[in-house]
């Protein structure tokens, strides 16, 4: 991380962004950092410059979509918490997990039985499986090709089935 520029906001890695951004804010000064983590730090006109620096630093990490969501806020504390909340929400909807790479994220959980709240897992992490990025990419491309073939075959079977039904109805 270059200490001269803030890290780019990345909702898929919100935990990493929080750590890097906290470090960056501390390099701007402890008052700037406190403006983002303490709600009452900038009340009564105190530390307004620190608040302004923190807001500028936070907003400079954002793309236009996220900037539009927080551009009307005037408290670094509120901007920080809004971004963290948005990031965690986006991460949840993206299906990502902040613990990517941990043993827990590699397990397959399935709902079994009548109770949808009951989750069981019988799969174990295979420690011997080690794929490079290129191997994984190739594997995924093969899966997509097979999926496309199956999709075409399914469409052909549907067409044959409907054609056979029409022939039967015409008799």
- Dihedral angle, C-alpha 143, 148, 149, 154, nearest 10 °: 120
Phi/psi at 45 (5° precision): 75, 0
- Residue pLDDT, tens place only, 142-166: 888 888 888 888 888 888 877 888 7
Taking the whole predicted model, whether its pTM rises above 0.75 is answered as no
Which class for 55: exposed (0-12), middle (13-18), buried (19 or more C-beta within 10 A)? buried
Grouping H, G, I as helix, E, B as strand and the rest as coil, residue 7 is: coil
- Cα→Cα distances 104→91, 108, 118, 121, 130, Å: 17, 9, 17, 11, 17
């Amino acid at each position: 991380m270059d200490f001269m520029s803030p890290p780019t906001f990345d909702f898929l890695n919100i935990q990493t962004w929080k750590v890097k951004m906290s470090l960056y804010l501390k390099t701007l000064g402890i008052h700037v950092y406190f403006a983002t983590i303490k709600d009452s730090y900038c009340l009564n006109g105190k530390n307004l410059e620190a608040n302004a620096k923190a807001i500028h630093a936070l907003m400079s990490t954002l793309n236009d979509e996220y900037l539009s969501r927080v551009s009307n806020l005037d408290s670094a504390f509120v901007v920080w918490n809004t971004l963290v909340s948005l990031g965690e929400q986006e991460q949840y909807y993206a299906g990502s997990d902040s613990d990517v790479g941990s043993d827990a994220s590699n397990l397959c959980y399935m709902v079994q039985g009548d109770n949808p709240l009951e989750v069981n897992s019988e799969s174990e992490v295979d420690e011997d499986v080690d794929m490079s990025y290129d191997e994984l990419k190739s594997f995924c491309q093969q899966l997509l090709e097979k999926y496309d073939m199956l999709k075409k075959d399914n469409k052909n079977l549907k067409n044959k089935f409907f054609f056979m039904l029409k022939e039967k109805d015409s008799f």
